[in-house]
């Protein structure tokens, strides 16, 4: 292949239309993009919670925030509240920004650990602006101190929005189901796909967004699968939507149950709910009862079962095929990373786009980066299960006692002894995230950083009080979450800015 002129995307949904829109926006008419999807094939479409980098993707597409929120019935997300993950009755918050104030040598939790020894009773959560805003159901403030945030949104609406953008930029959508894939007799590269109608669609680069079927990357090219189910035991989910019973809060809720966990994601017009569980410990009938008995609001859909395997393709890019989304692998949505992994792979592909021809060096680099990224996220997800003190079910005991990856064991051991966490190779989750989960689930370090002892007791107490007071001022200064959303939407209609900035 001397020159890449056409990209064929097999599958729509969030992954397909994100790829189509980003490629069209970046390259314009210099390449042709055709997306194939079938209305007869459904999408999983339960991924309604995101993390802050989604804002960068929307900026790439020049999506106005108010227009975006209106199209997807979106709300803001300041983090995730976890319930029952340490012990039954425990509650902590994973925010999107650091706690308190740091020094270059030591992060805030080291100061908090020493203050706690001196009698400080406030939890680490109380020193997080995002956490306090979320629990007060506030968003935005007049002081100008910006929160770090992401979104909750209707994934189907997001795909619809991106489809509209992509088609305006020249992407061609073809309706139909792929029934055959033709490969080059010598190289094995994909040359074309054939639809039920008999139409043959050719291209030089193929993007597999066919979901769990992995039609191109696995069924055709047989890249292989790396199974992580011995670490992440859940293999089933049930999803259901309910009516809203109260104004939407600016955070996702994750509640650990006897076998797995339940999500709650508030949108403007409804609430997304679901239960992730392990079929070795719970059958579908019991899972449905567990979910339905713990809902707020009247169900507006029937529970939808989803089966999955946790793991990844051994290669996300092989020959002239790149896999995105569920076709490339699966990690349960405990930390809302599914859309982020799609986004990063799209950006990575764009940065090393093989316009002059596909080279193995590009493929190898792409696969190395994807492998590293998803394995760091995998370890962070395993952490939630492994660091628990629950004794109420065999499931949680097994999670606590299981062998874990050496990379995760090192992080836990280092933090347990010294409170130190290092972010490696630009991994997604920073020291803030690891600290929030480990301390939130009851893992307190045996010691803190020695630089903290340079602060005497009186100044340390004053610092802790000042942080709490500053946060309280910011929280009291802002509007409620739903008020802010309405202000933003109204301001967009009149081409004005909302009264309080995020």
How many CA atoms, within 13 angstroms, populate the side-chain half-sphere of residue 41? 18
How buried is 297 (Cβ within 10 angstroms: 0-12 exposed, 13-18 middle, 19+ buried)? Answer: middle
Quick check: is 6 catalytic?
no
Nearest-5° Cα angle at 289, 288 to 295: 90
How many CA atoms, within 13 angstroms, populate the side-chain half-sphere of residue 290? 23
Packed helices 338-351 and 360-386: angle between N→C axes, nearest 10 degrees: 160
Cα–Cα distance measured from residue 298 to residue 22, given in angstroms and rounded to the nearest whole number: 38
The residue with tokens 């039954």 is 88
Of the candidates 442, 441, 443, 449, the one whose C-alpha atom is nearest the C-alpha of residue 420 is 449
Q: Indicate which residue of 3, 6, 25, 77 is catalytic.
A: 77
Determine contact, residues 150/80, Cβ cutoff 8 Å: no
Burial 239-274, CB ≥16 within 10 A → b, else e = bbbbeeeeebbbbbbbbbbbbbbbbbbbbbebbbbb
Cα–Cα distance measured from residue 251 to residue 157, given in angstroms and rounded to the nearest whole number: 20
Cα–Cα distance measured from residue 438 to residue 27, given in angstroms and rounded to the nearest whole number: 43
β-strand 252-257 against 236-242: which pairing, if any? unpaired
**DSSP, residue by residue, 409-433:** HHHHHHHHHH------TT-SS-HHH
Compute CA distances 469 → 30, 100, 148, 235, whole Å: 55, 11, 19, 45
β-strand 321-323 against 304-307: which pairing, if any? unpaired
Of the candidates 317, 287, 307, the one whose C-alpha atom is nearest the C-alpha of residue 212 is 307
Of the candidates 381, 371, 383, the one whose C-alpha atom is nearest the C-alpha of residue 410 is 383
Cross-strand pairs, 172: 34
Which residues, 6+ apart, have CB-to-CB distance to 89 below 8 Å? none
Q: Describe the chain by its helix, strand, coil percentages, rounded to 5.
A: 40, 20, 40
Active site amino acids: 77
């Amino acid at each position: 292949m001397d020159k890449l002129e056409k990209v064929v995307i097999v599958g729509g949904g969030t992954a397909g239309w994100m790829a189509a829109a980003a490629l069209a926006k970046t390259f314009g008419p210099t390449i042709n993009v055709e997306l194939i999807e079938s209305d007869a094939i459904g999408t999983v479409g339960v991924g309604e919670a995101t993390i802050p980098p989604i804002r960068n993707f929307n900026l790439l597409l020049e999506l106005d925030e108010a227009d975006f929120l209106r199209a997807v019935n979106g709300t803001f997300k300041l983090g995730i509240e976890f319930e029952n993950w340490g012990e039954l009755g425990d509650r902590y918050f994973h925010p999107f920004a650091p706690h308190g104030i740091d020094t270059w040598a030591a992060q805030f939790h080291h100061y908090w650990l020493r203050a706690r020894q001196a009698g400080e009773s406030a939890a680490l959560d109380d020193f997080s602006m995002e956490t306090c805003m979320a629990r007060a159901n506030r968003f935005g403030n007049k002081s100008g101190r910006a929160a770090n945030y992401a979104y909750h949104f209707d994934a189907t609406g997001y795909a619809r929005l991106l489809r509209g953008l992509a088609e305006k930029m020249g992407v061609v959508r073809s309706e139909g189901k792929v029934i055959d894939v033709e490969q080059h007799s010598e190289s094995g590269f994909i040359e074309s796909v054939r639809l039920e109608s008999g139409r043959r669609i050719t291209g030089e680069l193929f993007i597999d967004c066919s979901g769990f079927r992995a039609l191109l990357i696995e069924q055709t090219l047989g890249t292989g699968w790396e199974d992580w189910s011995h670490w992440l035991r859940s293999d089933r989910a049930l999803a259901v939507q309910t009516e809203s019973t109260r104004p939407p809060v600016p955070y996702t809720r994750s509640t650990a149950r006897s076998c797995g966990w339940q999500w709650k994601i508030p949108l403007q017009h409804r609430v997304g709910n679901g239960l992730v569980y392990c079929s070795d410990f719970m059958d579908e009938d019991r899972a449905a009862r567990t979910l339905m008995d713990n809902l707020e609001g009247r169900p507006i859909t029937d529970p939808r079962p989803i089966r999955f395997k946790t793991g990844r393709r051994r290669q996300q890019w092989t020959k002239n095929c790149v896999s995105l989304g569920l076709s490339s692998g699966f990690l349960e949505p405990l930390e809302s990373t599914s859309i982020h992994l799609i986004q990063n792979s799209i950006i990575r592909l764009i940065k090393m786009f093989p316009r002059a021809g596909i080279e193995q060096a590009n493929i190898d680099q792409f696969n190395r980066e994807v492998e590293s990224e998803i394995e760091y996220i995998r370890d962070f997800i395993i952490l939630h299960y492994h660091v628990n003190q629950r004794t109420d079910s065999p499931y949680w005991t097994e999670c606590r006692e299981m062998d874990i990856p050496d990379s995760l064991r090192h992080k836990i051991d280092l933090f347990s002894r010294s409170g130190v966490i290092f972010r490696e190779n630009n991994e997604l989750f920073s020291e803030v995230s690891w600290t929030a989960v480990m301390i939130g689930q009851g893992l307190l370090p045996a010691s803190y950083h020695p630089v903290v002892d340079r602060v005497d007791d009186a100044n340390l107490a004053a610092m802790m009080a000042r942080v709490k007071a500053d946060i309280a001022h910011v929280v009291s200064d802002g509007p409620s979450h739903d008020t802010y959303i309405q202000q933003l939407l109204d301001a967009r209609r009149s081409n004005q800015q909302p009264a309080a900035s995020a």
